[in-house]
Amino acid sequence: MPYFDAASAAPLHPVARQALLASLDEGWADPARLYREGRRARLLLDAAREAAADAVGCRPDELVFTPSGTRAVHAGISGSLAGRRRVGNRLVVSAVEHSSVLHAAEVHAAAGATVTEVPVGRTGAVAAGAFAAALDPGDAGPVALACLQSANHEVGTEQPVAEVAEACRAAGVPLLVDAAQSLGWGPVEGAWSLLAASAHKWGGPAGVGLLAVRKGVRFSPQGPSDERESGRAPGFENLPAIVAAAASLRAVRAEAAAEEARLRALVDRIRARVPELVPDVEVVGDPVRRLPHLVTFSCLYVDGETLLHELDREGFSVSSGSSCTSSTLTPSHVLRAMGVLSEGNVRVSLPSGTTEEDVDRFLAVLPGVVAGVRERLDAPSPAASVSGTGSLLVDALGRRCPIPVIELAKVIGDVPVGGTVTVLADDAAARLDIPAWCEMRGQEYVGESPAAGGGVAYVVRRAS
């Protein structure tokens, strides 16, 4: 059964398994103790730290291990903000950061501080100039910390970290980079100040993160601390998992060049073939500046949760950013920030070792699966409808996407060119998906306004 969700968690690398089993026998003791078993554990911990620091591109004494990548992000943000509280309290983040960064930003804002969110374009990348402009003190006040991911976890777009790091250096602002998705492929370029990552993203065991804080960066760990991990990650180290994480990071780096070229070719095939095989599909993310193993596309008139279940039934494990696949019933914040279609969203992230046969079978199965879901939802066919009355009203209140978009597509041909269709909807995803449908189908999105009976009225003018 092909597993295509490495961006969530990569399968455990064989080297990680070997190192984990070996260190269970050798690294069970307290590395802070001076007796023989403790010294042996300390040697393992120090070797793991040196290996991880070499992969990150920092000094060993600048890196600590944490219980997860999320904890590394939270510790990095809170410690840096506290260390620079006399400078200011403003936090600058991109609109597509991982939820761990955005949740920390929400807590910071709830405490009365200022958070500035830098928008992204349709590919999911920030403009380095826009990020630099957000660092200007202006009326918002001095910036204490900036955060930018190295590559996006949902669409794979790489961010201009080196350019942003230079802008931060010029402004005297430390930059924290969330490198969870990219660290297994190579070091992060640029003069970053702090870096966080998570071992289960590169084939290490879950429950190990790392946080690097450059010397000279003002940093004040928050919360109770102890003598372990420089006071930045209190508690007994999970030494076997740490050793396995460092060993697997070194192993995947050694394989990265060959595997990157191979997986990039497979992803290029998916990017090219999916729009040819499935009508009304939008492939999102930067086509060039992207992670080599990840591709995301959205299918019009498709319920994302149903699509994932059907692909799972066919033997493929994939992920999605559609609102119908989440507990919040709101579209992915990444897709929303990009302004792209969110319904029927599929993220394919290939793990190391994925074969051409697996990808070919996925491409063979996908068209039938999408067609089946669309048929069940009574989605419109690509054929054009005849023109009729000058304006129509579609009441889709109480119905979740993609139903409002499907109803719009069914009737757009019933109005003449220049005529309008007003869609009443109360699903938050409609605010993203109706304009995205207009762009994909060459129709004019007029705008939205509150509806008298509740919900939102979205107005679309037929342009062709």
State whether residue 298 is helix, strand or coil. strand
- Alpha carbon 72 to its chain's center: 16
Residue type for position 341: L
End-to-end CA distance of the chain: 44
Which helix (H) or strand (E) covers residue 399, if one does? none
Note if 324 is an active site residue: yes
Q: In whole angstroms, how far apart are CA 78 and each of 180, 227, 378? A: 18, 19, 50
Q: Which candidate, 183, 288, 204, places its Cα nearest to that of 246?
A: 204
Query: Which parts of 67-183 are beta strand (E)?
Result: 90-94, 115-118, 143-149, 175-178
d(CA 395, CA 117): 34
Q: Active site residue: 147, 324, 401, 438, which one?
A: 324
CA 368/CA 374 separation, integer angstroms = 10
- Cis peptide bond prior to 142, omega within 30° of 0: no
172 CB-contact burial (10 Å; exposed 0-12 / middle 13-18 / buried 19+)? exposed
For residue 371, give both structure tokens: 């067609």
In the block, tokens 């939270």 appear at 74
Side chain identity, residue 329: L
Q: Report yes or no: 340 and 298 within 8 Å, Cβ to Cβ.
A: yes
Q: List active site positions.
A: 324
